[in-house]
Amino acid sequence: MNTCNSDTKIVVKDITKQFPGENPEQGLALYDVNFTVQTNEFVTIVGRSGCGKSTMLNIAAGLLSPTKGEVLINGRAVNGPGSDRGMVFQYSGLFPWLTAIENIEFGPRNVGMPKAERRASAQELIELVRLKGFENKYPRELSGGMQQRVAIARAMALDPEILLMDEPFGSLDQLTREDMQRELLRVWEIRKKTVLFVTHSIIEAIYLSDRILVFNPNPGFVKKEFVIELPRPRQKSYPDFMRYYEEIYEAIC
Amino acid sequence: MKRSVRHSKNGKIFGLSEYIIKIITIIILIILWEFFSRVGYLSPLRFPRPSKLAITLWELMTVGYPIGITVWLHIKATVCRILQGYLLAAAFAIPMGLIIGRSYLLEQAANPVITFARSVATISLLPLAIAWFGVDELSRILLIAYGCYWVILTNTIQGVKQVDINFINAGRMLGASRRQLFFRVILPATLPRIFAGMKIALGVGFMVIIAVEMIGTIQGLGALIQQARFYYSSDIAIDGMIFIGILGLLISIVLDRLEQIMLPWAVGLEEVER
């Protein structure tokens, strides 16, 4: 469905977000944020905690509305959540009362896809994220890594063009986290998606992304941009990798 | 299931299962009680000895007290009243709680009323209930309903308010309409808390029922105990207490089992507010 062209998928235009509060300076989460994401590009926002990167993602998702500015997807302004975007959350986004496969079927069920059809496509996604045999387990019966696999499959169930990922691996242990990074890239290679990813791990960002946006904290805006020109699959021990790390680290501080 | 560190590894202490140890403890206490009352430390009138209680127990089950009303009839009357009041309360409290919990305005408005009504001990409403509805089944059932209502209501409201924002966001991202969001996300997310409220409410119902049965009826465990009081029959009063305890225990086992069947994903998750 997504042909390989270099169209612009997401345009973030002059986004400012002011949260209501007593002190206007503290409530200013984002100030004049501008960037674009190309079709099938993997873009990551990095920055210190509280730099508004999650707020930016929620605005792109349509869960929050900006105080000023707009987000365009395929040229149309975002006005609430839509099935062109799937989202993966850091914590507990999975519904504990549904099994793995029921979680994946949740979106298709809402839009009225017939049972047989949605079961089949959910089964396909289960296989894509390598969870065969676990489809009837409840989230609490799955490990943290498995839960995030289900979350990724669920976000892809309505076949969105865009995946929004809010520190999806932030609560995992280091080894699982690295497995999941490889898994995500594998899935991304198979089902091409435009990805907007948020993390505070510079290494994770370099490993995954085509492009990295460094956010300034308080208020948040794009401070610096890095195009990662490393061949995939990337090795975290490459000297070039480390060079990027140092440059980005410096940009954040 | 997690076990505390003080539990033995295989559930055994000195080679005996924990289950056996619990039973032995009870038996030892009963033997001590019998012993002290036979020796004369405990007055048989105030502390009837266990052997006497056992005989009375048998009489309650076969002959009944007053004669003809066996303890089974008392239990049946009590259980029927509790169930009616309890279900009546749940039928109103759960929908109300879901509505109030979803609205900040309603919650703020209802808050003082709920806190006030909850603080009024249900039994203190007995005179009013009698004035309004007479010494009648209706009074009893409504009082039980009143006691249960506020507990279920507050727990339902809290449950709705505490639904994880991530669940709601995930639901919205997955194309849920307002209606779908309510029935497929908010309601199931609230169920464990509603269940917790229902469990506490049942305990409240038990407290209320015994008191309201002490007036104007000869059927029910409360009535049994009240009758015993008139004639200084401590043995009957204590046996009545034993039946109440066993009944409460059985019902809570049934509720736990029901929760395991209905909410297998949630067992052990709930936090409770009285």
For residues A85 and A79, is the Cβ–Cβ distance under 8 A? no
Domains and CATH numbers, chain A: 8-84+161-252 (3.40.50.300), 96-159 (no CATH)
Report the b/e string of A164-188 with b at 16+ CB within 10 A: bbbbbbbebeeebbbebbebbbebb
Average pLDDT over residues A51-77: 93
Cα gap A74→B272, rounded to integer Å: 48
For residues A137 and A99, is the Cβ–Cβ distance under 8 A? yes
Whether residue A218 is predicted with pLDDT greater than 70 in this model: the reply is yes
**What per-residue confidence (pLDDT) applies to B12?**
66
Which residues of chain A are within 8 Å of residue B175 when distances are taken between CB atoms? 81, 83, 107, 110-111, 158
For residues A172 and A151, is the Cβ–Cβ distance under 8 A? no
Q: How confident is the model at residue B4 (pLDDT cuts 50, 70, 90)?
A: very low
Per DSSP, A220 falls in state B
Q: How confident is the model at residue A208 (pLDDT cuts 50, 70, 90)?
A: very high
ipTM of the complex: 0.89
Report the predicted TM-score, pTM, of the whole model to 2 decimal places: 0.83
For residues B185 and B77, is the Cβ–Cβ distance under 8 A? no
For residues A191 and A128, is the Cβ–Cβ distance under 8 A? yes
For A175, the token pair is 């080894």
Q: Of B15 and A15, which is predicted with more confidence?
A: A15
Which candidate, B152, B140, B116, B105, places its Cα nearest to that of B211? B140
Q: How confident is the model at residue B272 (pLDDT cuts 50, 70, 90)?
A: very low
What residue of A is the nearest CA neighbor of B174?
A107
Q: Compute how many other C-beta atoms are within 10 angstroms of the C-beta atom of residue B54.
A: 13
Cα gap A169→B80, rounded to integer Å: 53
Whether residue A129 is predicted with pLDDT greater than 50 in this model: the reply is yes
For residues A42 and A197, is the Cβ–Cβ distance under 8 A? yes
Identify the residue among A65, A94, A95 best suited for mutation to test binding to B, counting B beta carbons within 10 A and taking the highest.
A95
Cα gap A180→A147, rounded to integer Å: 11
- The reply to whether B184 touches chain A by the CB within 8 Å rule is yes
Q: What percent of chain B has pLDDT over 90?
A: 49
Q: Who among A83, A96, A110 is closest to B180 (CB)?
A: A110
- The reply to whether B145 touches chain A by the CB within 8 Å rule is no
For B104, the token pair is 């900040």
Cα gap A237→A248, rounded to integer Å: 16
Cα gap A222→A212, rounded to integer Å: 10
**What per-residue confidence (pLDDT) applies to A1?**
39
Q: How confident is the model at residue A11 (pLDDT cuts 50, 70, 90)?
A: very high
Say yes or no for a CB contact (<8 Å) between A89 and B172.
no
**What per-residue confidence (pLDDT) applies to A92?**
61
Q: Who among B164, B184, B265 is closest to A138 (CB)?
A: B265
Which residues of chain B are within 8 Å of residue A136 when distances are taken between CB atoms? none
Identify the residue among B173, B178, B190 best suited for mutation to test binding to A, counting A beta carbons within 10 A and taking the highest.
B173
Instruction: Express the helix, strand and coil content of chain A in percent, nearest 5 each.
Output: 35, 25, 40
> What residues are paired with A18 via a beta bridge?
A28
Element (H, E) at A42: strand A42-46
Which candidate, A80, A73, A65, A71, places its Cα nearest to that of A17? A65
Report the b/e string of A215-232 with b at 16+ CB within 10 A: bbbebbbbeeebebebee
Q: Using one digit for the tens of pLDDT, what is the confidence trace for B18-54?
A: 788 888 999 999 999 888 888 888 887 778 888 889 9
**What per-residue confidence (pLDDT) applies to B6?**
54
Place of tokens 């680290």: A249
Say yes or no for a CB contact (<8 Å) between A158 and B174.
yes
Average pLDDT over residues A234-249: 92
Q: Using one digit for the tens of pLDDT, what is the confidence trace for B106-145?
A: 999 999 999 999 888 888 888 888 889 888 889 999 999 9
Whether residue A4 is predicted with pLDDT greater than 50 in this model: the reply is no
Mean pLDDT for chain A?
91
Q: Of A92 and A10, which is predicted with more confidence?
A: A10
Q: Using one digit for the tens of pLDDT, what is the confidence trace for B47-102?
A: 888 888 999 999 999 888 888 889 999 999 999 999 999 999 999 999 999 999 99
Cα gap B224→B239, rounded to integer Å: 10
